[in-house]
Amino acid sequence: MSHEAQLPGDGLRRRSILLGAAAGAGALALGGTVLGGRADAATTFVKGADVSWLPQMEARGYVWKDKNGVQRDLLSILKDYGITAVSLRTWVDPSSDPANGHCGIEETAQLAQRAKNAGLQVLVGFHFGDTWNSVGVQNPPKAWSGMTYAQMLQAMYDYVYHSCNVIKYYGVTPGWIKIGNESNSGICKPTGSISKPAQMTGLLNAAYDMSKQVFPGTPVLVHLAQPQNLASVQNFLDAYRANGGRWDITGLSSYGQGGNVPGILANMKTIQAGYGKPVMQVEYGGPVGKPTQVRDSLKAFVTGIKGFGGLGTFFWEPEGYPSFNGYNSSAWDESTRRPTAALDGFLGT
């Protein structure tokens, strides 16, 4: 894989320094105020986009035009829509596949630096796998798959501590760190399955503590999918909280459209009130061929989440083109290379 930044003392074991980590750092109030966190991450509702495919698409010659047909840097165009942040995923030992690989910590940190230089905040999301983990799949990195729980716990300490230091090496302090991706059924299964809640919590707490060790003022999210299925989200959060789980923000994925949005918003509000942690919608999207529907649903989410004191909404991979990997829920028209009306949902809200 790519050369990693050489960091002083990175071989040290991390367990001893956890005792000094402030578990309460970055605590949040429901009104969306970060206590002890970065003020600029809390003062306004966050409008964001996951753009993790951007470097691989650029390397293959893809370009993006603005609504006037002028070819520009994607990040610059996104800012036209009031987007102030990007979300970037990272995998442990990914392949070189352009759509399902890359996103190792070195590449992710370089893209984070580019986003920072463009005036954007960065959310860094750990999948704790070598490729996609999601609500239906939670596979550990191949190098961790044969480990005992104790060994995996140590690997988690080391991995997150090192990864955060790579990001720091590139001069970036993330606005947010997300530990796990759509972790309803746990992480690194079977070791960190929700059926083993103490181990699941131990692994996630290790990630939380190492994030705080390097970036003490950065809020940390756990991430659950499908808030329309309230019981699934509550099942995870109940188990995590009961076992001493630490988190500052509840991240939620929802691609709901039209008449489904009000019920999803009601569940998001219930989740926020029930666990005392503000909600952030970390993934959203909809059919690229129905841009006005996607726009109106996005506007409804932004307005609704603002209304109950949630923190923000991220559009997932709006720059994607079907010819790159078949993804059809983006916000760019591949025939014109211009953004669709979908992103207009961020405007005027």
- Can you read off the two tokens belonging to residue 348? 């005027």
Helix (H, G, I), strand (E, B) or coil at 71: strand
Q: Are 138 and 144 in contact (CB under 8 A)?
A: no
Q: What is the pLDDT of residues 101-131, one digit of tens each?
A: 899 999 999 999 999 999 999 999 999 999 9
Q: How far apart are CA 52 and CA 91, in angstroms?
A: 11
Residue 136: its pLDDT value, please?
86
pLDDT the model gives residue 149: 98
Mean pLDDT of the chain: 90
User: Which contacts qualify for 268-273: CB closer than 8 Å, 24 or more apart?
Assistant: 268/227, 268/304, 268/305, 268/308, 268/310, 269/308, 270/230, 271/227, 271/230, 271/233, 271/234, 271/237, 272/30, 272/308, 272/309, 272/310, 273/30
Share of the chain above pLDDT 70, in %: 88
Helices 105-117 and 149-169 pack at an angle, to 10 degrees, of: 30
CA distance to 169, 184, 230, 235, 236, per residue, from 195 (Å): 37, 11, 18, 11, 10
The 10s digit of each residue's pLDDT in 140-157 is 999 999 999 999 999 999
Choice among 24-28, 44-48, 130-134, 339-343 with the minimum mean pLDDT: 24-28
Q: Judge whether 54 and 103 are in contact, CB under 8 Å.
A: no
Taking residues 270-298, what's their average pLDDT?
98
Confidence band (pLDDT; 50, 70, 90) for 14?
very low
Name which of 4-13, 52-61, 96-105, 148-157 the model is least confident about. Answer: 4-13
Beta strands per DSSP E along the chain: 46-50, 85-90, 121-126, 176-179, 186-187, 192-193, 220-225, 249-253, 279-283, 312-316, 332-333, 338-339
DSSP line for 22-44: -TTTT-B-TTS-BSSS-GGGTSS
List Cβ neighbours of 100 (8 Å cut-off, separation of 6 or more).
Answer: 131, 132, 325
3-state DSSP assignment of residue 105: helix
DSSP code of residue 262 = H
- Tell me the average pLDDT across 259-280: 98
- The pLDDT, as a whole number, for residue 43 is 56
pLDDT at 42 over 70: no
Mean pLDDT of all residues in 323-327? 94
**Rounded Cα distance, 208 and 177, in Å:** 9
pLDDT at 107: 97
Q: Cα–Cα distance between 334 and 63 in angstroms, integer?
A: 10
Decide if pLDDT at 18 tops 90: no
Tell the residue number behind the tokens 């760019």, with chain if given.
332
pLDDT at 349: 86
Q: Tens digit of pLDDT for each residue in 160-172?
A: 999 999 999 999 9
